[in-house]
Amino acid sequence: MKKATIVMATLLVALTVAVAQAETCYKLNPFVDVLRLNIQVSEHSAPNPGGGQHVLVYGNWIASGFYTLPVVGARELNKGSTSQRRLGIHGTNFTSLFLGNSNCILDGIPGASWSLNCHGGAAPFTNSGSPLASVNCSTLPASTDEVRGPAAGQ
């Protein structure tokens, strides 16, 4: 039993060391929408010519005064690149915005354009913009009801 406990403790420490965590935020310009995302970088043990890591993201898609959507996705290398990463997330919507669609997918490259596509309602909803801008998370509220401008889901 003691050996099993030591092995489990060692395994947990190894897993903790192998995964780096941080929060990052993006703004969906020209709209008020902000993505507050926890980033988990998981290192591969085997060599990987595509960058050697996968990046899991999850968090909150906030449009002040309109909605907050829980999201999950990844930030992976863009096709043909060894440095540029593409952000892809899935959010669930419970509001009448996004034409009442319940499933929204956002795709974009940080610093460049983004697009969203929502399904699950009477008609699909799409929108896009540029840039998907990095913003300082410490200046943003976790969530708020204050309306500050148009939202991407309107």
**CA-to-CA distance for 67 and 22, rounded, in angstroms?**
24
The owner of tokens 């009801």 is 145
More confident residue, 63 or 14: 63
Residue 57: inside a domain, yes or no? yes
Q: How far is CA 82 from CA 14, 52, 76, 78, 86, in A?
A: 27, 10, 10, 8, 11
Residue 52, in any domain of the structure: yes
Q: Is residue 8 part of a domain?
A: no
Predicted pLDDT of residue 147: 60
Backbone CA torsion sign across 16, 12, 72, 70: negative
Q: Is residue 16 part of a domain?
A: no
pLDDT (mean) for 54-60: 94
Provide the mean pLDDT of the chain.
83
pLDDT tens digits along 71-125: 999 999 899 888 889 999 999 999 999 999 999 999 999 999 999 999 999 899 9
**Residue at 148 is within a domain:** no
Token representation of residue 137: 């998370």
Q: Which amino acid is at 132?
A: L
State the total domains in the chain.
Answer: 1
